[in-house]
Amino acid sequence: RFIAKPCALGLKVQANGPQKAQPNAILEKVFTAITKHPDEKRLEGLSKQLDWDVRSIQRWFRQRRNQEKPSTLRKFCESMWRFTFYLYIFTYGVRFLKKTPWLWNTRQCWSGYPYQPLMPDLHYYYIVELSFYWSLMFSQFIDVKRKDFGIMFTHHVVAVSLISFSYVTNLTRVGTLILCLHDAADIVLEAAKMANYCKCQKLSDLLFLTFAVVFIVSRLGIYPLWILNTTLFELYEALGNFPALWVFNVLLMVLQVLHCLWSYLIIKAAYKAISKGKVAKDSRSDVESSSDEEETVPRSKAPHSTVATNGTSGANGTNGYLTGAASSEEH
């Protein structure tokens, strides 16, 4: 409110949200009580009841769905907040880890386990990260529903479970490595989203491609070769078999499955960016389920067809992380 909003307005970010649909009691009742996406049969019935053409009714429903979407200004402020948090916590994590022996030798994660002291810096790192992921999990229910709602919710549950479980079982050393590794790509992603909202297309494209590289290298390369290697093999060699080992590794493997799903979506978006000359949206987490479908049928010339001409067009900004044809659902 006091920092992000003035910055957004200074960068000429669009402050207005989608235009509102014309008030109509019958259509509003259908929208709120029956369906937000009426089928062809219901559209024809409403057309006869209101003496509107079908395209006008479709356009009204699209406008009504768009009303519930956040404005570009609101999305910029949210991205700036997340960018600030990720930048801060990643910087804190790097400064903390570079002084620890387990950053350079992962076998040190298990040295003296379970009798490893909980240092104040490590405790602070864990509590801040845990509180942030709790906030992400709950905010999903009050935010606009994304196409990848299920994947993101699963990710947040796994993240909270991993942080909590590793804290309780004192597997915090390797936990700090996992947290720091995951924060790196998110910084670039939020920066790309902000550039998109500011209509800096070239910068947005560059940042998105940078994000794609960082995400894939860190989640499909470093994570399995560095993190999973030590939790699956070095931990077993050092301490033998115990129940917490298997619970911890199952959660880490679920996280890796999510990494693979997101990487597929990101690679697809990056391919479109290279082939078409501009970035598609980040496929992880920001395209709403009620996204604006393009009109493919010519508008009717019926008298009431002008009712919905004030709808939100694609030029009014995207709901995704980045502009273009099709990314988070959106991560």
Distance CA 188, CA 125 (A): 21
- C-beta separation of 4 from 193 below 8 A: no
- Structure confidence at residue 144 (pLDDT): 59
C-alpha pair distances (Å), 163 with each of 128, 251, 304, 315: 11, 10, 56, 41
Residue 165's pLDDT is 95
The residue extents of the domains of the chain are: 19-68, 72-276
Q: How far apart are CA 195 and CA 179, in angstroms?
A: 25
pLDDT at residue 276, as a whole number: 72
pLDDT at 274: 76
The pLDDT value recorded for residue 59 is 87
Q: What does pLDDT average to in each consecutive run of 10 residues of the chain (331 residues)?
A: 87 75 85 85 87 88 81 88 96 96 95 93 96 90 72 89 95 96 95 92 91 95 96 93 92 94 89 68 44 38 38 35 38 38
pLDDT reported for residue 21: 78
DSSP, res 288: B
Q: What is the pLDDT of residue 14?
A: 75
Assess whether the previous peptide bond of 6 is cis (omega < 30° from 0).
no
Instruction: Extract the tokens encoding 147.
Output: 């196409």
Q: Which residues pair with 328 in a beta bridge?
A: 285
The answer to whether 92 and 185 have CB atoms below 8 angstroms apart is no
Neighbours of 70 (CB within 10 A): 16
Question: Are the C-beta atoms of 211 and 185 separated by less than 8 Å?
Answer: yes
Q: Residue 183 and residue 163: Cα distance in Å, rounded?
A: 14
Say how many CA atoms lie within 13 Å of 282 toward its Cβ. 30
Q: Fold for 19-68, please state it.
A: Arc Repressor Mutant, subunit A (1.10.10)
For residue 243, the one-letter residue type is P
CA 254 – CA 228 distance, rounded (Å): 12
The kind and range of the H/E element at 148 are none
pLDDT value for 288: 40
Predicted pLDDT of residue 27: 87
